[in-house]
Structure 1
């Protein structure tokens, strides 16, 4: 039974889906349905920045995925959080605003043969939704504005970017130590070349998390042509055959409150379920590697080798240093008085540790001087713990996590059964190439170089993880596998490319190859992962896709 029909059905109310729903529903003649498997984003911990600690691993807000046991991590399996609520991962992530490097997008343009994805042509898409604090007073210095940043940053859009509302002496010392080790200072990581050390900018407004639901759904909620349905679990896409025999996506099947429902799409279905759930839905709907689908008894609609392949992620190696004479969150939060003071500061001023993103200080640098671009990213924190969600250690400490921005390892996302309820097999294949293993060892040595600089000497840093007794490359590589963890940036599992590339899933306008009426708009379309955090690039992808969708609809009417 068809419940209702819409012009556009968007699957997934995450980062991309919220923006798409806002943009497409601007045209009152187009009916738009936005489907979200999770609940509304009215869980209080979503909105308090430090609340990510209570959202990750929580079935209220997280899909609770885990990776397969990974040989590169010495057989360990990792928790693999994915947002399951309005706003998706923007409701549980680290809030870091990061565009990546110009070369990322120029590489995409070459991979797709479409200059629309070049750096010069994606910057306007970033700026289209920016509301950047640097531009709060415009570009005219006479009125307090900052003309130096006007070419790169926008104002008045929905996506708020602010400075962090805290500083720590231990982080200032680490920044100075990085400079002493040869890393330049940076006051803007989003200029196209993010090499340098400085504080991350964050998606917050006045000390509250600013997620995609607040930014893009709130302004659109009064539109009669936009319907948002939460707790809607997609059970497959609906296809028909055109007269030519080509498959056409005509709708979607969902289950909500135990009731199966179908919705019809007159124009397009848009998959924005993320780099894990988008390929999962495609595979269950018959789009994917034929052998995999046949193994699980799924009818093969179209054999597509690339669906679920090309998984890329940023693996961080979390090094921990004990320090003396420094104020850190470990010592503040491990007492009732400290916790009370932290809560009071946030309640009165929206500042302090409760306003913290997971990482405050960042650095981008090269694993060796011969590289033409920064290929390492540091997330530096005035705290230490064994893993997110675990208790803080009971000694003052600093964590310097370092990740390879451009991994050459490739993994996969594959259905493991014929039951849509079952989580897919997520196999990142971390550290599976010689280059990635070499960069991991070099990055550990570089952390030690920074920690040995004079700026940190007064705090007497002592390496606690992995431990100074380990010196040989083989030892450091094994320890990297023991202590490394994901920073939750899966991408690439439905990559953009050209038709002659049988591993490409969508074309440069994000239309699925060999299928009409179906488009993919999320981080899964990245041919290669960006050199930084992935949330804001996903918004850019959605901004560009919204324009493609409108343009293609006009072209179809004229044809």
Structure 2
């Protein structure tokens, strides 16, 4: 271990005797720590678990949100739609007015509890395409990030479990693409209950196979096509980073966790090798509350996410000098890349009414029926609540001769990667918009997977409790609006097949009037939102590059003692909801940390 531990001895507090989950900073009794992890979300939970698997490595996790324990809506898979936005479990951010959205601001949900967004998301679980990871390796000039090397982390990070209804899953996934770990891992499963539209989706894939081919498993690197959804659900219950990693680690006497602890500053503790050194943090329960300081002998690991991490860097003096100076923040490291390059998957839902009531919508309107299903879930972990928002999803591309490619280079990560995603739900599934009082619905959610628009975060003050201005800059390029318009045309073709004739009534709301190019564009700009996948605000770049925030080993450029392990380091959007790639980033990030801790450990 480094000599920093000795240098910081004056602020240490004795030896660890038992792991503790503290409910607030006022209860916290500090001790000696090798590592402090800022954020107990998806990434921080994994890193804490892996580090504390090593005897005598001590870790403190500081989480700004609450504990995940006892929050039933987070446990029941289908209640994912109740967790965000505008709840106690959400940071409740909002974007700036988006020019591409006709100057609308949209909610920007981020999980605020142990497990982070893995405790509140919609549980869709994928790892991305082989092209994605090979691009990350190329951009960072580190082959360790390529698809072949990352397979080892898939094997140990996930645990395939039977679906809640124990149906025969033959032909619904390819076991060799997945992990069956017996240690700390995320439980994943296929849908635990059939829906009335499953056979209709499969019939459509047969009838329109040229445009909508069946993909037996998107976990093997080629994501293109439509197939069965795999979700972060095990035995009928959500599996999060908190349940899969933190809970198994808590019995270890080398781990402490403090919730309701907002880290307000990274504290410079000196210099090492001529660069600023950071080994302490300050944190408080709320604005105006008593601030505490705690230090780590080895590293501070930032896992506060694509919003929290760059905000904390900037309020601590790491960012663009001009911007920091304007807010009265002393610049310690001038890095104009911090908080820039914000990228996200724009979301747009197309909704159809159905001719009958054979959807899940009626359940959500009938309190007594819903109560009976909650009882069934509580007693047996079965019933309609065990499944995610859909049983099928797909990843699709523009035609190679699409007109946009006459002027724009294809932004997809490779030929086996997509331009947009579709998720097919047997009920009203429009995030943030309440279900209408009447009617039954089928929803196809589209998301732009290879956006070229980039935005930024901007501090409004030096106050770490003040939310930043969040500008994803949605639909600011010709490619993005073109691709999302084509996605809307595609889902209309999908639903025009004979399988839907006796089931679908008509498109619903403004979607019904989106037929011509101009009408579709108006619908897109008036209705699109976010699927809540922000990335790239502290992106990795090659060692020595004049851009980017972290090196390929995830150490913050220009400082000592700081490493970032979370979604903010991912330089391009993946062909996946971001939880899966973040789990892999976290697994390799933990290995990189361990390799530095003990040079005798061989890292693949």
When normalised by structure 1's length, the TM-score is: 0.93
Q: What residue is the counterpart of 2:447 in the other structure?
A: 403
1:554 aligns with 2:598: yes
Q: Is contact 1:64-1:80 (8 Å) kept?
A: yes
Q: Is contact 1:18-1:212 (8 Å) kept?
A: yes
What does 1:24-423 correspond to in 2, within 5 Å? 24-42=51-69, 43-133=71-161, 149-150=175-176, 152-157=178-183, 158-181=185-208, 182-242=211-271, 244-256=273-285, 258-325=289-356, 327-370=358-401, 372-373=415-416, 374-384=418-428, 387-388=431-432, 390-423=434-467
Distance of 2:57 and 2:537 partners within structure 1 = 30
Q: What SS class does the counterpart of residue 439 from structure 1 fall into?
A: helix
C-alpha displacement of 1:125: 1.1
Once the two structures are overlaid, the 10-residue window that deviates more, 322-331 or 449-458, is 322-331
Distance 1:511 1:450, change over 3 A: same
Distance 1:248 1:256, change over 3 A: same
Distance 1:304 1:426, change over 3 A: same
Once the two structures are overlaid, the 10-residue window that deviates more, 327-336 or 489-498, is 327-336
1:324-365 residue CA offsets vs partner (Å, 9 max, x unmatched): 135112233323454344334434442333223233321111
Distance of 2:39 and 2:191 partners within structure 1 = 29
Distance of 1:16 and 1:282 partners within structure 2 = 17
Q: Is contact 2:95-2:105 (8 Å) kept?
A: yes
Distance of 1:61 and 1:463 partners within structure 2 = 33
Distance 1:353 1:243, change over 3 A: closer
Q: Mark the runs of 5 or more structure 2 residues left unpaired by the alignment.
A: 1-9, 12-29, 164-169, 402-409
Once the two structures are overlaid, the 10-residue window that deviates more, 317-326 or 382-391, is 382-391
Q: What SS class does the counterpart of residue 216 from structure 1 fall into?
A: helix
Cα RMSD for the two superposed structures: 2.5
Distance of 1:175 and 1:376 partners within structure 2 = 20
Q: What residue is the counterpart of 2:4 in the other structure?
A: none
C-alpha displacement of 1:522: 0.4
Distance 1:188 1:386, change over 3 A: closer
Q: What residue is the counterpart of 2:565 in the other structure?
A: 521
Distance of 1:107 and 1:303 partners within structure 2 = 27
1:225-265 residue CA offsets vs partner (Å, 9 max, x unmatched): 11111111111001133265410111101113722111111
Q: Which of the numbers 551, 555, 563 marks the counterpart of 1:511?
A: 555
1:412-463 residue CA offsets vs partner (Å, 9 max, x unmatched): 1221112111111110111001100110111111111111111111214411
Q: What SS class does the counterpart of residue 296 from structure 2 fall into?
A: strand
1:52-111 residue CA offsets vs partner (Å, 9 max, x unmatched): 233213543111111111111111111111111111111101111111100000000100
Once the two structures are overlaid, the 10-residue window that deviates more, 516-525 or 461-470, is 461-470
Distance of 1:147 and 1:454 partners within structure 2 = 26
Q: Mark the runs of 5 or more structure 1 residues left unpaired by the alignment.
A: 136-143
1:453 aligns with 2:482: no
Q: Is contact 1:101-1:530 (8 Å) kept?
A: yes
Q: Which of the numbers 11, 28, 37 marks the counterpart of 1:10?
A: 37
Q: What residue is the counterpart of 2:484 in the other structure?
A: 440
Q: Is contact 1:334-1:392 (8 Å) kept?
A: no
Q: Is contact 1:364-1:375 (8 Å) kept?
A: yes
Q: Is contact 2:160-2:178 (8 Å) kept?
A: no
Once the two structures are overlaid, the 10-residue window that deviates more, 37-46 or 507-516, is 37-46
Q: Is contact 1:129-1:159 (8 Å) kept?
A: yes
Once the two structures are overlaid, the 10-residue window that deviates more, 162-171 or 204-213, is 162-171
Q: Size of the alignment, in residue pairs?
A: 551
Could you list the runs of 4 or more consecutive aligned residues of structure 1 that deviate by over 6 angstroms after TM superposition? 144-147
